[in-house]
Amino acid sequence: MLAFSAGIDSTALFYLLLHEKVPFDIAHVNYHTREQSDAEADHARALAAQYGKQCHVHDSGEISENFEAEARRIRYGFFDTLMEAHGYDVLLTAHQLDDRLEWLLMQLCKGAGLPELLGMAPVTDREGYRLVRPLLDTGKNDLRAWLDAHGYRYFEDASNRDPRHTRNRFRTQHAAPLLEQFQSGIRNSFAFLSRDAAALAPLPEAVIDSDFLMLTGSLERAALMRTVDRWLKRQGYLLRQGEKERILAEDNLVLGRRYALSITPRCAIVTPIAEGSMPKSFRESCRVLGIGAAVRPYLYAHPDHFTAVREKLAAAAGEARK
């Protein structure tokens, strides 16, 4: 399934997939934020019909604040539902080289490590499917030139040039001029950085439920923080920089009043915030196991998850004694 916005990037990927005879359908989200939003949705339906593709369109409700994060949550929630309902096993997105550089520059100015600077990976395994970004080495101007040369229609979002948005300022003032002069070197640098990132500490092993994350294996803090960050993004929650720094330094904390994290020497647990009374015996069991107070109400309400944590900690303790 192709995530299709009707813009330059996804339109280019649409026709490239056709040229390569790759079977696919498309998914489009209409946020109704611009005058041409409905025209883009109509174009997506017409283009799909023209080439015998199925077109899934989702009409988003009004987003009143934190648009980018909320739009991402809506978008990927829609994609996740489609992937499961229709049996798709690969989601294609049209992120390209300009997107990578904009992201790197923004993270660089915030303060970030190598995995955060790189951001988008060519292939990412998500729950139930694989996310693939085949255009990460291709510049936007190259895609535009290819579309124009073939006479393919696409839409351009005028809001992408609005300087009130931070990302737009990074795009027009920094990323675009750099790519115009140094695209080949920038592309090579991303390849070198990706190889360096692959040599970093392995990510922890994850046991994932719809709202429960347990990490074992390598608990090196930076790798643990990256794994928690990625999982929370899938839940629609974006960690702030201060929260990332706290995960590197603290064992028990609450994130945005929505999630609780407890890090023991042998596993880490992330749960939604829950409330409720617990018997003293349960609290004492958690204390002995080193499980932080904020995750205990959730574990008490979900005994299967508590059993999994307890068994994992007991097994790890046994291995340590050996």
Q: Per mean pLDDT, which of 53-57, 170-174, 230-234, 316-320 is the most reliable?
A: 53-57
Report the phi/psi class of residue 292: left, alpha or beta, with left for phi > 0 and alpha for psi in -120 to 50: beta
| pLDDT score of 39 | 96
**40 versus 234: which is more confidently predicted?**
40
Residue 264 is which amino acid?
Answer: T
* Alpha-carbon span 93 to 115, nearest angstrom: 20
Measured CA to CA, the distance from residue 259 to residue 273 in angstroms comes to: 5
Average pLDDT over residues 25-35: 93
Looking at the predicted structure, is the pLDDT value of residue 8 above 50? yes
Q: What pLDDT, on the 0 to 100 scale, is given for residue 318?
A: 53
pLDDT for residue 161 is more than 80: no
Indicate if the pLDDT at residue 128 is higher than 70.
yes
Q: Given phi > 0 = left and psi -120 to 50 = alpha, else beta, which region is 66?
A: left
Least confident of 34-43, 203-212, 254-263: 203-212
Above 80 in pLDDT, residue 207?
no
CA distance 21 to 206: 36
With cut-offs at 50, 70 and 90, classify the pLDDT of residue 321.
very low
Phi, psi of 147 (to 5 degrees): -65, -45
What pLDDT sits at residue 70? 87
pLDDT digits (tens, 9 = 90+) for 271-320: 999 999 999 999 999 999 999 999 999 999 999 999 989 888 877 655 54
User: Quick one: average pLDDT of 33-55?
Assistant: 95
| Nearest one of 140, 167, 110, 151 to 8, comparing CA atoms | 140
pLDDT recorded at residue 87: 95
pLDDT of the residue at 317: 54
Q: Which long-range contacts (CB under 8 A, 24 or more apart) does 276-279 make?
A: 276/300, 276/301
**What pLDDT is stored for residue 250 in this prediction?**
94
- φ, ψ for residue 140, nearest 5 deg: -60, -40
What average pLDDT does this structure show over 215-228? 84
**Exposure on the CB side of residue 112, measured as CA atoms within 13 A:** 18
Q: Residue 102, SS3?
A: helix
Model pLDDT, residue 124: 87
Residue 47 and residue 75 in contact, taking contact as beta carbons nearer than 8 Å: no
* Residue 7 pLDDT exceeds 80: yes
At 321, the amino acid letter reads R
* Higher pLDDT pick, 19 / 157: 19
pLDDT tens-digit readout, 229-256: 888 988 889 898 899 999 999 999 999 9
For a pLDDT cut of 70, what percent of the chain falls above it?
Answer: 97
Highest mean pLDDT among 109-118, 127-136, 151-160: 127-136
**Greatest mean pLDDT among 38-42, 65-69, 214-218:** 38-42
The pLDDT value given to residue 199: 73
Q: What is the mean pLDDT of residues 245-270?
A: 92
- Domains observed in the chain: 2-196 (3.40.50.620), 205-321 (no CATH)
Q: What's the chain's average pLDDT?
A: 90
Distance of CA 151 to the CA centre of its chain: 33
Q: Give me the pLDDT at residue 180, please.
A: 95
